[in-house]
Amino acid sequence: MPTLERSAQMLAAVLTLAACDRAAPTGIQPSANPTTVAPAKDENMKIKMHLDGEVLTATLAEGAAPRDFLALLPLELTLRDYASTEKVGDLPARLSIEGAPPGFDPDVGDITYYAPWGNLAIFYRDFGFAQGLVKLGRFDSNVDELARKQGELNVRFERAQPSTPAGERSP
């Protein structure tokens, strides 16, 4: 019986030591200077919208839907008025709304995605909270011209060229 008791004690000691051992597996050494690799991010979230010879610039927000919209550019759309509040246009593909809030309260100048219909909506008048509305970005300047335009509008969205840092020449 002493042998069985001793074996049980040894087994308990080995299991305790194994559970307490938090060392790296053999052959793998932890780095003295660990580095964190951030996911790749498109630094240029500026876009341009061409409308009847005018160019309006906008800044896109962070998130899956704005990234998906950026991936569609360059993009030509036909915008039409909706409820005397916004100009809307059908996108060629659905955008991901992963991580987006359930809705949004847009301001004048906001560029949005209305997920239930899969369309782009640019607000030129104030509007209240709408379920399924996702903010894509915001125009950097006034959008009064959009409110004045009647009928269908043919627009072109494209990425804005990144600005050249001081002292460097653009190619």
* pLDDT tens profile 126-141: 999 999 999 999 999 9
pLDDT at residue number 70: 97
pLDDT at residue number 36: 35
pLDDT at residue number 145: 85
**Of residues 54, 126, 134, 113, the one with CA closest to residue 85:** 126
* Cβ 57 vs Cβ 46: under 8 Å: yes
* Cβ 86 vs Cβ 120: under 8 Å: no
Which tokens hold the place of 11?
A: 């087994």
* pLDDT tens profile 21-76: 444 443 334 344 433 333 334 456 999 999 989 999 999 999 999 999 999 999 99
**Domains (range + CATH), the chain:** 46-159 (2.40.100.20)
Cis ω for the linkage preceding 74 (within 30 of 0): yes
* pLDDT tens profile 83-118: 999 999 999 999 999 999 999 999 999 999 999 999
pLDDT at residue number 147: 86
Residue 161 pLDDT level (bands cut at 50, 70, 90): confident
The DSSP code sequence of 76-127 is: EEEEEEETTTEEEEE-SSPPP-TT--SEE---TTEEEEETTTTEEEEESS--
Q: Which residue has the higher pLDDT, 168 or 71?
A: 71
Q: Does the pLDDT of residue 14 top 50, yes or no?
A: no
Length of the chain: 171
pLDDT at residue number 9: 56
